[in-house]
Amino acid sequence: AQKVTQAQTEISVVEKEDVTLDCVYETRDTTYYLFWYKQPPSGELVFLIRRNSFDEQNEISGRYSWNFQKSTSSFNFTITASQVVDSAVYFCALSRRSGYALNFGKGTSLLVTP
Amino acid sequence: GAVVSQHPSRVICKSGTSVKIECRSLDFQATTMFWYRQFPKQSLMLMATSNEGSKATYEQGVEKDKFLINHASLTLSTLTVTSAHPEDSSFYICSAKRQGAESPLHFGNGTRLTVT
């Protein structure tokens, strides 16, 4: 069985602060994929990143960065210099293979205030 | 980029009526589509998986006779909520898998269903 835990239900930061969203996963599969999605108030899911289990390199995309640690089964997401537009619910998800159904965590609601 | 269109974006219906939600892949062929449901302030839960030309596979606890899924073509899947009740009010969102090589799942913009 697969499971994704996002222990932080809500986070509130002031603009320009850095914030890290935690994601811990459980799986018995040796091959799997991890995802992060952003869900703004309008509801659509915005794809942020996909990482397969064989690629443990950290990734940076602008103000976003991801830290994948297989040893601790974590795939944390950091937003540097947060902005009000970053306010949304962020979901971490896991699938056996890319293109298969995703198991979502419960999401972390991020509020960035001016 | 790949686009998945979901329609309608919002629908309000009376209890006992049926509602059909469409999910279309606009620029690729989707061999598999997934339907999720999200209650307010909760996570997305997989309802069913549909493969083009075959019956959908439903997750445990999801009533297949209530949530009818049809995937008649490689670009269209529909979810019909039959005899809707207020507890069916939720956000329904579909995703599509591109035929061929593995790729990220593309999601529709979701449908907010309110049953009065």
Residue A1 pLDDT exceeds 90? no
Q: Which residues in chain B are contacts of A106 at CB distance < 8 A?
A: 42-43
Residue A18 pLDDT exceeds 70? yes
Q: Is A50 on the interface with B (CB under 8 A)?
A: yes
As to burial, measured by CB atoms within 10 angstroms (0-12 exposed, 13-18 middle, 19+ buried), residue A100 is middle
* % of chain B exceeding 70 in pLDDT: 94
A83-110 pLDDT tens trace: 999 999 999 999 987 778 999 999 999 9
C-alpha distances out from residue B20 to A64, A109, B24, B96, B111, Å = 38, 30, 13, 18, 10
- Interface test mutation site (partner B, options A2, A39, A45, max chain B beta carbons within 10 A): A45
* % of chain B exceeding 90 in pLDDT: 73
B9-31 pLDDT tens trace: 999 999 999 999 999 999 888 88
Q: Which two tokens stand for residue A105?
A: 């965590």
B22-63 pLDDT tens trace: 999 998 888 899 999 999 889 999 999 998 888 899 999 999
> What residues of chain A, 76 to 95, have a C-beta less than 8 Å from chain B?
91, 95
The confidence band for B2, taking pLDDT boundaries of 50, 70 and 90, is low
CA distance A18 to chain B (A): 24
- Measured distance CA(A48)–CA(B30) in Å, rounded: 21
Q: Is A100 on the interface with B (CB under 8 A)?
A: yes
Closest-CA residue of B relative to A10 is B41
Q: Which of A99, A30, A18, A57 is nearest to B105 (CA)?
A: A99
Query: What average pLDDT does the segment B96-114 reach?
Result: 83
Q: Is A99 on the interface with B (CB under 8 A)?
A: yes
Which residue among B41, B106, B112 places its CB closest to the CB of A43? B112
Residue A114 pLDDT exceeds 80? yes
Which residue among B43, B46, B91 places its CB closest to the CB of A101? B46
Which has more pLDDT, A17 or B71? A17
Residue the block writes with tokens 């009533």: B63
